[in-house]
Every structure is written in C-alpha cells, then in structure tokens.
Chain A
Amino acid sequence: MSEFRMPSLGADMEFGTLVDWRVKPGDAVKRGDVVALVETEKGVIEVEIFESGVIDSLIVQPGQKVPVGAPLALVRGDGVTAKVQPPAAPVPTAPVEAKPAVEEKHAPKVTAITAIEELRRARVSPLARKRAQELGVELSTVTGTGEEGLITASDVEKAALAKPGAEPTPPAAPMVAAKGLDLQAMRRVIAAAMARSKREIPHYYLATTIDMSKSLNWLAAENAERPVTKRLLYSALLIRAVALAAREVPEMNGFWMDGAFKPGEGVHVGMAISLRQGGLINPAIHDVDKKALDELMENMLDLVNRARNGHLRSSELSDGTITVTNLGEQGVESVFGVIYPPQAALVGFGKITERPFASGGLVGARPMIDATLSGDHRVSDGHRGGRFLLAVARLLQEPEKL
C-alpha cells in the first residue's frame, strides 16, 4: 500500500485544496491518470497519479486544504511504480485544516455524502463555488450554462437573484479575478519563489541579437499554404530552437537539487504565461526536442487554452526543465528573466523589430530579435551559455529543419 500525496506543483506551492476526486475506492488507476482536482494559488490543477494500482481509500475530502506532501489517498500498488517521484517538498509547519489520516470506511452522515456527490456530479468553476458560498446559494439548485454544463459564477449570481428576498449584487468588473484566483495570494507565492531564486541562484546574464528574416520568410510561405488549424507562430520556432540548443548544451536543461545539478531526463520547456487578471504561470510542454513543429504548435495552443480555462495538469507544472519567456508582444526589446527554481536557465525573447544589419559591407534592414539567457553559475558559466545562445541563433537560420 502506498500513499498518493499532495504534489508540489512548482517551487512556489506550499498548500493545495482538494477540490474534487475523479476516482473512488476500488477504481483501478494507471500512471498518468487524472485522479483529483487541486486548487492552488495559481488555479485549479488536474492532478495525475504517479503509480498504477487500485484506489484503496480517500483520506482527504473535497474542500480540505493540506500541505504539499500530505497523503491524499491510499493506493494498492500493482508493482509498477514510477521511476521518478515528484520532489517531496519540505512539509511546512503551519497549521493545516486537514483531518488526521483516517480511513472513512464507515458511511459518513448521509448529508455529507449527498453534498459531496452533488459536487462530483456537477461541474462547478472555482469562482462559482466561491460566489455560491458568499451568496448562500445551494449549488444543487443552480443550472450550469457553461461548457458541458459547467456552473459559472454568473449562473450562481442569477440563481441568487432568483431567490426570494435576494439583493442584487454588483456586476462583475471586466477584469475580475476569474477561476477563483486570489491575486494577492498568487503574488505572494510568486514573490516567495522569485526571492528564493535571487537569494540562492547566482545568475549570470547574456544577450545576443538574432536575425529572424529566414524564419519569418519561411513561416509566411508555410502559413499561406496551411489551413487555419495547422498554422504556425514564430514563438513555436523559438521554443523548438531553445529545446534543440538545450540538448546540445545540457547544462541549461535540468534542476539544481540537493547541492548538485541533475540534468533533465527530457527537454520539457516551460512557457511563462501571463494571466491577464494578474500573475504568472509556467506550465511545460514535454519532450519538445523530440516533437515535430506541428505537434509542438498543437501543444502550445492547447496548453495556453487550458492555462486560461483552468485545466492544467500536475505534470505540466512540475516537470519543466528550462523556461522560455517571450515578452516581445508587450513591446519589450529585451528581457533578463529570473530563473524558476529548481531549473538552471531561463531564455528570454523580446520583440521582433526591423533594425539595420550590415552584411558584406552593405547595410540593410532585417527583422531582429533579442535573445537573452539567465544562467545558473553553479551549473554553467558564460562560455557555455554563449554556446547555447549561439546554437539558438544558428537553429533559427534553418527554420525548415526545426
């Protein structure tokens, strides 16, 4: 019997609230199955299990907040265990609301079962749950109008208005903190992770300017032929080039853990995605070095969409081996980023701008992009970092091979 624990979904996570179980005792699970929904400061994450087996019992009930590493369920293993367990974060000593790990084999009170079952049946957005609590609305009475019958905050608000004696609530502002995100809490966890990074990681910074004309010309010709569902964005070329360069210079790809560098077992590129309502999330695309550009593009579209709609998976938040941040669309020319611990490098891209470019004694205008590297001096130095950026630049000169 083994314990399925609250995973660490990034350097900045200390606690998670179990929102819902996707399994019940007796269910067979295999590695990679989504077994629970967990809410963190960065939204609701679909948590995958690392071990195959049969769910024996559920320890933590929906609504409970527990620290990273706390047991959530007991699993009877089938002997097939994961090679890599997620790094067990130190368990904080703060008081938690979790009940002791007691198996609830005996039927709890009927009302509790009903409430939990209702939560299981109904798909409810976290913001909707929060609003329902605030407004005293029974979720079972609300009809969901969202995707697949999802109950949204506005459904709850409508139901609240329909209640006798209900007071109208002010309409949501255009940029409300959707998905139940607590922006202050999110800022706190980002601050903690970035402070840790700046405190512990001796950063060095390098910059180079890359000619993007070949990449952009190739892209324009490709996209003219492609249907909208197969269209490519230049950011896919950048991410692919970073992944291939990271394979060439492996010191950029992996984790600093327990006083040593552990090279990544694949190149899983984290994409820094800024959430419009504030804050930042850094999910990874797995095995970018082994993926064709088309597949990478599909993954990017899907990942950003799920980041916006709150369906990220736990492995995407814990597996990143290097991060790319692209602030070019914000009009920024260069970005010198802060490494996302325990990773060892972060690559930044600015805006593509036409700049004078001298070649063969002649000056012309070319679309150029600033690429920067923030490297961890415990792992590599400027020489290797330079090789890495040079590889990125070289790879972008042959976009058809990416």
Chain B
Amino acid sequence: MSKSQEIEIREVVLRALNNVAPEVDAGAIDPSKNLRDQIDIDSVDFLNFVIGLHKELGIEIPDADVSKLGTLNGCVAYLQSRMKGS
C-alpha cells in the first residue's frame, strides 16, 4: 500500500471529521488516542462521520467494524485494508 494512498485516506478522514466537528482543529488531535475522548462528539455525530467516510470512499462499513474506527490511526488502517480488499 503506497504512502500516498495513506495520506489521501487520512485527508478523507479529516474532512469527514471536520464536517461533524467544524470547530475542531484537526492538527491538535492525537491520532493514536480515542477520537470521542478528545473532541466530545456524540453518537449522532459519530454516525454522520462514519457515513461521511462511506460516501467519500464508497466502502460499506458493517456495524461490527465501527469499533475499529475509534482513533484516527484506526480509521486509516481499517479503510486502507478495506480498499486493498476491493
């Protein structure tokens, strides 16, 4: 998996996050720590975030996999693995 694809996915993730939390400075988020602990998004925001990822990347994200999207790094790793599979 190329580095450039990883960067691209990270940008998609940050864009989706910005849509549900426009007032949050993405640069201040620790990518290894739980998102919801850091930026106080609620379950509706989080679902909007996951739907945003789905819409931009065209990847279906089963409910059972949502727990893998808890951190920025987790999101990138999961989405990358799903794109590889497709």
Contact = CB atoms under 8 A, between A and B. Distances in A.
Nearest to B65: A228
Contact of A309 (B19, B40, B41, B42): B19
B24 A305 contact: no
A226 B45 CA distance: 18
B20 interface: yes
Given A301-B47, A301-B51, A305-B20, A173 B25 contact: yes
A204 to B, nearest CB: 29
Contacts of B45: 304, 308
B54 A228 contact: yes
A228 B64 contact: no
Contact of B44 (A179, A223, A235, A309): A235
Interface string A308-332: 1100000000000000000001000
Nearest to A178: B23
Interface residues of A, number: 28
Interface in B23-48: 23-25, 28, 39-45, 47-48
Contact of B22 (A174, A229, A235, A309): A309
A152 B45 CA distance: 21
A178 B18 CA distance: 12
B12 interface: no
B14 interface: no
A300 B51 CA distance: 13
B48 A305 contact: yes
Contacts of A179: 22-23
B69 to A, nearest CB: 11
Given A229-B51, A229-B54, A175 B23 contact: yes
Given A228-B60, A231-B63, A276 B47 contact: no
Contacts of B77: none
A176 interface: yes
A329 to B, nearest CB: 5
B43 A329 contact: yes
B22 A329 contact: no
Contacts of A308: 20-22, 45
A309 to B, nearest CB: 6
B48 A304 contact: yes
A227 B23 CA distance: 29
Nearest to A219: B63
Given A233-B43, A329-B43, A178 B22 contact: yes
A110 interface: no
A305 B19 contact: yes
7 contacts: A179-B22, A228-B51, A228-B54, A276-B40, A308-B22, A308-B45, A329-B43
Given A174-B25, A178-B22, 17 more contacts: A174-B24, A176-B25, A220-B63, A224-B62, A226-B63, A227-B60, A228-B47, A228-B62, A229-B54, A233-B43, A235-B44, A276-B23, A276-B24, A276-B41, A304-B44, A305-B48, A329-B43
